Structure 1
């Protein structure tokens, strides 16, 4: 896919943070997430953008994995992002993903000297 179909410009304007999700059972989805991150990074023009990287389907058998946990952690670390593994079956982890992205948006906004007005209670 070319760069315009993989990430339309409207997906970047006015967005404060991203949750990028790949399947731990698909190396291809892991590669697509890398491409998406690169496009987002180019569009943002900042050194840091709020990102949570999520490896989904973590509840499936180890034999079905194509992406190891340490590979996801390493990628997130290279981006300065938060890393989590989850399963759609785990409601608490799924809710935690959204809490993490809100915290990351707030943290980075404050580090740039502005308040997002977003508060967690």
Structure 2
């Protein structure tokens, strides 16, 4: 073949590289002009998402606070019940100590007689 254009190897190589770049450039995604409506919608969605997240956080904090209050109330009720039981025990112990020996013997005899009467 005859070289009619008198191009050398390097000229053909650069032409081939430029053609390849042009072909690849056709398939690259083109940058679109920024749409102001899209930006407004995106900002609105982000604000709604943030507000929803804050609502969830507030609800979660409220549930934790209610749970803590409920547990505290249960502990108070248990403590009061235990104090009442302890007070009853102390009162019974004090009553037993106040009884004289004769009264203790009389009570014991009455219990014994009641037990015998049941048989």
Which TM-score band applies after superposition, normalised by the shorter structure? under 0.3
Q: Higher strand share goes to which structure?
A: 1
- What TM-score does the superposition give when structure 1 sets the normalisation length? 0.21
- What TM-score does the superposition give when structure 2 sets the normalisation length? 0.21
Structure number with the bigger relative contact order (C-alpha 8 A, sep ≥ 6) is 1
Greater gyration radius: 2
